[in-house]
Amino acid sequence: MKNSFDHVAHRLVRDGRAAFPLKTSDLILRVVAGLQSLVNEPEKVQSRFLVNRSKFEDQEEGADDGLIFKDGGVNPTNGDVYDEKWYFQVKPGLPTLLKAQGADMHGYGKWIGYCMELHERSTVQQLGIAKGLDRCIPGINLYELMSCRTAMSLSTLRLLLYKEPKSKQNYVVGKKHVDRCALTSAIAELRPALRLFESNGEAESAPELYVARPDEVLVFAGAKAEYLTDLLPAQGHDVFDMVAATEPPRWSIVHFGHTNTPVHPKYLHSRKLPDVPSAVGQAAAATM
């Protein structure tokens, strides 16, 4: 009898994405509350939570970890205005690095523990799915490529917290793109806003809004998986959050699982897919 990871693997190959049970409801609100608290701390407290990994390791992708503020501003090429938001990026070994630079582990140690636990649970699930994909698509060796030391050092849980919208009609939009990683797990979001496209963006089909259920995550392929096999095309997606100023700012939690292999060449020079005509608004989602 096939195990549940095999079912997910088959659905990933068939549909390009698959929702899958993962116990997270005991952690999500704690994880979000910790970030909401940290962003209200004085700058001198916050600065200890920013980790520049390139100081410690030979890192190219996602070099900064911990607390990162993404400034607003305007894209000079297309005039897009970017919303201001906070990232909190979690990778293996983060607590050690935070302690080393004097972060307030007395106040935030428990919270960091919750973040690490969520990262661990999602990683275990992604590696299980990788094994399922190996059985489904012989020869790709995804488990080995995702579980090696280099790949694990890139495995990133990202908490996103937007700042208060500046205007009433301030749609928060992550422009259509594919992720650079091998597997993405969309773990939780404040309200549905993630939209999925039928193919990798070449078709003009209307996007499908993903509505998350508690203790379930959505897993889909990124550009590194597509590099390994065209049976796993990278999932095009955007984020379209129609939010009024009176509603709380968006948060979301995503896990990017990496291999130590390159992204598919067709995504090397253009991370963004063509614009979606209906995507009126602001902010481009970072790809990872």
Q: Which residues bind Fe ion (CB under 5 A)?
A: 179
Q: How far is the CB of 102 from Fe ion (least distance, A)?
A: 33
Min dist. Cβ of residue 218 to Fe ion (A): 11
Q: Which residue lies nearer to Fe ion by CB, 98 or 183?
A: 183
Cα–Cα distance, 286 to 288 (Å, whole number): 6
Q: Are 266 and 227 in contact (CB under 8 A)?
A: no
CB of 180 to Fe ion, least distance (A): 9
Residue number with the shortest CB distance to Fe ion?
179
* Contacts of residue 14, Cβ cutoff 8 Å, sequence gap at least 6: none
Rounded to 5°, angle at Cα 240 from 156 and 226: 45
Q: 49: which DSSP letter?
A: G
| Cβ-based nearer residue to Fe ion, 65 or 179 | 179
**C-alpha–C-alpha distance, residues 13 and 222, integer Å:** 13
How many residues belong to the chain?
288
Nearest-approach distance from CB 17 to Fe ion, in angstroms: 12
Q: How far is the CB of 232 from Fe ion (least distance, A)?
A: 16
- By C-beta, is 134 or 179 nearer to Fe ion? 179
Which lies closer to Fe ion via its Cβ, residue 179 or residue 241? 179
On the CB side of 5, CA atoms within 13 Å amount to: 14
Of 18 and 98, the one with the shorter C-beta distance to Fe ion is 18
Cβ(285)–Cβ(69) under 8 Å?
A: no
Residue type, 20: F
